[in-house]
Structure 1
Amino acid sequence: MAGDLTDIAHVQDLVKRHIERYGGLDILVNNASKQILCSDFAEIDLNNVESTFRSNTLAMHALVKYALTHMKRGASIIQTSSMTAYKGSKGMVDYSFRWAFPFWGFVVWIGYQKLAAATMATVFWAGDIFA
């Protein structure tokens, strides 16, 4: 089911179509992201920052929002992240921010929200290429 995850209406429809087709949702893996290099913060294109945020953060929130009510006991949300959340990156400040800002709080929040239903939220931290 291909589509644009920055289009919130599409995300909602995507989850709906998945539920209709497969009857449920046991595992949600959020790993779609993009990065745009910019080595000088003074030169950062704010349109790129917004685009990166929509692609990497807003899409994740939308997928969880629309999927969570369909996830039952034992379901899993797997969230990928990056070492740039801790190390940063000289050329990817908006990408680094994307990983650092929402993830710990977001995953902990999911745990609190679904604790009674025993939905597991996990973050996997991948190493980065750019140092």
Structure 2
Amino acid sequence: MSNKEDQNYHDKIDEAANSEKDMTPRPVYEREYDLQPKKLQDKVAIITGGDSGIGRAVAIHFAREGADVVIVYYKEKQDADETQKLVEEKGRKALVIQADVSVEENCRNIVQQTIDTFGKLDILVNNAAIQFPKEDLQEITEQQWDETFRTNIYSYFFMSKAALPHLKAGAAIVNNASVNAYRGNKELVDYSSTKGAIVAFTRSLSTQLAEKNIRVNGVAPGPIWTPLIPSTFPGQELEDFGSDTPMKRAGQPAEVASCFVFLASDDASYITGQFLHPNGGTVLNT
């Protein structure tokens, strides 16, 4: 290319790079936040495992952003009632439902109660989970394996399937996985396996629903201080919990909830099939 041709080429590039006013359609560079001051204003969200830990934090943060929430819990009614109170203090409505989400019929009933109460469903947060640490694979019984899978991944399938007929364009599903889905955990083989399944489920379902403009994303937290931790790990491990992260500490549920808010909101309108990693600085090949 001659010097003259080279200059003409660069002139065209420069002209194209500075001609946004001539683009059709014009790029959207700002959202109309004034029309909707809160990210989830008047949305309705179901949160499984919503009574405590990350689920409670998500419920509260959703309420802060204008959403009504359905708090699904398994046994801890006192925790669920406290979460309901905290949501209502934010000026939003909370429906509390006791259910075992490992049973498909129960998941259908949760969705139906939501529709009967609020008339719609905009957001599904699959968060319920259990874990039973075992140091040896031989110690994991078939019953434990089945129970862990039914709660941690079957419920995500059941809830998503029940919710889909009611989700419209712009709706969102947000699934809670774990850092262990990516790096494994020698004491949590069955739990980590379910979390890996959640990653694959999320990515697969997102491709299926993309044309319907229903987004499916996930959060993969690192060590977070929730009731699940002291209920399953011995004292010494509790003292060191989270110290193996670059930030040398465990995270708090409030530090995770903002990820769910983002993925459920229109701020994430061009994001689907992806995971956020609030994990204290652990770098993962995702």
TM-score normalised by the chain length of structure 2: 0.44
Structure (1 or 2) with the greater helix fraction: 1
Matched, 1:19 2:130: no
1:35 is paired with a residue whose SS is coil
| Cα distance between partner residues in 2 of 1:111 and 1:91 | 30
Asked if residue 32 in structure 1 is aligned to residue 128 in structure 2, the reply is: yes
Tell me the equivalent position of 1:119.
Answer: 214
Q: In structure 1, what is the Cα distance between the partners aligned to 2:202 and 2:182?
A: 16
User: How far off its partner does 1:106 sit?
Assistant: 1.4
| Offset of residue 98 of structure 1 | 0.6
**Shift of residue 113, structure 1, vs aligned partner:** 2.2
Q: Give the superposed CA RMSD.
A: 1.5
Q: Distance in 2 between matches of 1:104 and 1:15?
A: 23
Which consecutive unaligned segments of at least 5 residues does structure 1 have? none
Distance in structure 2 (CA, Å) of the matches to 1:86 and 1:105:
11
| Aligned residue in 1 for 2:266 | none
Corresponding position of 2:179: 83
- What is the aligned partner in structure 1 of residue 192 from structure 2? 96
Per the alignment, in what secondary structure is the counterpart of residue 37 of structure 1? coil
Amino acid at match of 1:12: R
Counterpart mapping for 1:40-51 below 5 A: 40-51=136-147
For the pair 1:53 / 2:145, whether they are aligned, the reply is no
Deviation at 1:81, TM superposition (A): 0.7
Greater Rg by CA: 2
Q: How many residues align?
A: 130
Structure 2, unpaired ranges of 5+ = 1-96, 224-240, 245-286
Which residue type is aligned with residue 211 of structure 2?
A
Alignment of 1:54-69 (within 5 A): 54-69=150-165
Structure 1 position 112, deviation (Å) = 2.3
For 1:42 and 1:7, locate their aligned partners in 2 and report how far apart those are by CA, in whole Å.
27
Distance 2:206 2:184 in 1: 26
Partner Cα separation in structure 2 for residue 31 and residue 109 of structure 1 = 18
Please state whether the residue corresponding to 1:82 is helix, strand or coil: coil
Identity %: 31
Aligned equivalent of 2:71: none
Classify the secondary structure of the residue corresponding to 1:97: helix
Question: 1:42 Cα deviation (Å)?
Answer: 1.6
Which one scores higher on RCO, CA 8 angstroms, separation ≥ 6? Answer: 1
Deviation at 1:108, TM superposition (A): 2.2
TM-score by length of 1: 0.92
Distance in 2, Cα, partners of 1:20 & 1:110: 26
| Greater Cα offset, 115-124 or 56-65 | 115-124
> Does the residue aligned with 2:150 lie in a helix, a strand or coil?
helix
